[in-house]
Amino acid sequence: MVAMARERFQEGVKYYDAKQYEKARAAFLQAYALKRHPAVLLNLAQSELRSAHEADAAKHFDLYLRENKEASALEKQEAEKGLTAAKTRVGQVEVRVEDGADIFVDGQPEGRSPLPAPVYVSPGSHTIEARKAGQTANTQVDAAAGRATSATLTIGAGGGAAAAAPASDTAAGPQAGGAAPAPEADQGTESVEFDTQGGREPFFKWFAHNKVAWIGGGLTLVGIGGAIGFSLAAKSHYDTANDYAEQIRQKATQDRIASPCSAPTGEYINGCNKFSDEEQTGDQFKVLTFVSAGVAVLAAGGTVVYYFIDSKKKTEARAPLLVPVIAPKTAGLTLQGQF
């Protein structure tokens, strides 16, 4: 289910970035049904705000701010902006009824009293209903965009109807009754994590605070720099050796000597020794080039491996479970859990 939720979430991100907000909303709804994750909820609310589902957007922005206490300052700011924009387009209804009653708005369940937040509804007339112990009470409210009202219901001993009408409207905010402002310019979906890396901390975020990773990164850079420097030095000495070899070859051609450096004599000794020294030095730098490249590869690979070992986010420990196992010729218990 987590894999399916991640797939729907990524589809939602794709549609959101393409400004196909209705499709993004549908994808995020599916993802949230599979995995109730704050990142999904926030992106769902943003998509609803931009696809003319303002009441749902206000409900989900409000829910995000109440439940996601660990959200960053930027995430809270974006959620508050979205909630403010949505509130100017919808009405708010505070439902007052005894505790433990199931609340319905236009036949759709909203939760059990006391509700943690107002009910957000589109402008117009709505039916508020409370049900408890087989008894019901209901009333009508007229909601206006950007304004708040209340509905008080009393569930009578005999299952009576509504006992109170909506209270007088009060302004919902400084922009109440005015034209709804346009949503903030699209910034792309929120850069919040939704298990997109198997529960791991993003690599660069992990790298920024991990000193062991700094060592691996430093060795990688040193290895790359050394490989480049040593390879250039090797080329320089090989080029000098080739120059000596060409000079020796030209003189040997004039003197009609086939292999002057196999047993150099006379004037060939100095030139052949210089050729040999330059070639050997080039070979040494060539070896150092391969060593440096190897250091870079090992350091980079080690850093990546360490990332996969160290960056796994801690998950909430779950109590071990004893599960019965029954199969042909087999019976027993298995212990499942995280240790």
Yes or no: say if 124 and 99 are a contact pair by the CB < 8 Å rule.
no
Q: Looking at per-residue confidence, does 176 or 277 come out higher?
A: 277
Looking at residue 1, its pLDDT comes to: 84
User: Residues 90, 33, 312, CA angle at the centre, nearest 5°?
Assistant: 115
Per-residue pLDDT reduced to its tens digit, 51-68 = 999 999 999 999 999 988
Please state whether 326 falls in left (phi above 0), alpha (psi between -120 and 50) or beta.
Answer: beta
Q: Is the pLDDT score of 21 beyond 90?
A: yes
Per-residue pLDDT reduced to its tens digit, 243-297 = 888 887 887 787 777 777 776 677 777 878 888 888 899 899 999 999 999 988 9
What is the enclosing helix (H) or strand (E) of 229? helix 211-255
Q: pLDDT grade, residue 14 (50/70/90)?
A: very high
Mind giving me the DSSP string for 6-62?
Answer: HHHHHHHHHHHHTT-HHHHHHHHHHHHHH---HHHHHHHHHHHHTTT-HHHHHHHHH
CA atoms of 257 and 251, how far apart (whole Å): 9
CA 193 to chain centroid, in Å, comes to 3
Q: Looking at per-residue confidence, does 25 or 311 come out higher?
A: 25
Q: What is the mean pLDDT of residues 18-39?
A: 91
CA atoms of 15 and 12, how far apart (whole Å): 5
**C-alpha to C-alpha distances, 58 to 49, 78, 91, 289, nearest whole angstrom:** 8, 13, 10, 61
CA atoms of 260 and 296, how far apart (whole Å): 42
Per-residue pLDDT reduced to its tens digit, 126-168 = 999 999 988 999 899 999 999 999 999 898 744 434 433 444 4
Strands (E), the chain: 91-96, 102-105, 108-112, 119-121, 124-132, 135-143, 147-152, 170-171, 321-327, 330-336
Yes or no: say if 244 and 278 are a contact pair by the CB < 8 Å rule.
yes
And the tokens for 42? 């926030």
Average pLDDT, the chain: 79
Percent of the chain with pLDDT over 70: 77
Looking at residue 337, its pLDDT comes to: 52
Yes or no: say if 91 and 59 are a contact pair by the CB < 8 Å rule.
no
Q: Nearest to residue 208, comparing CAs of 71, 300, 70, 311?
A: 311
Least confident among 74-78, 110-114, 188-192, 324-328 = 188-192
pTM over 0.75: no
Looking at residue 199, its pLDDT comes to: 53
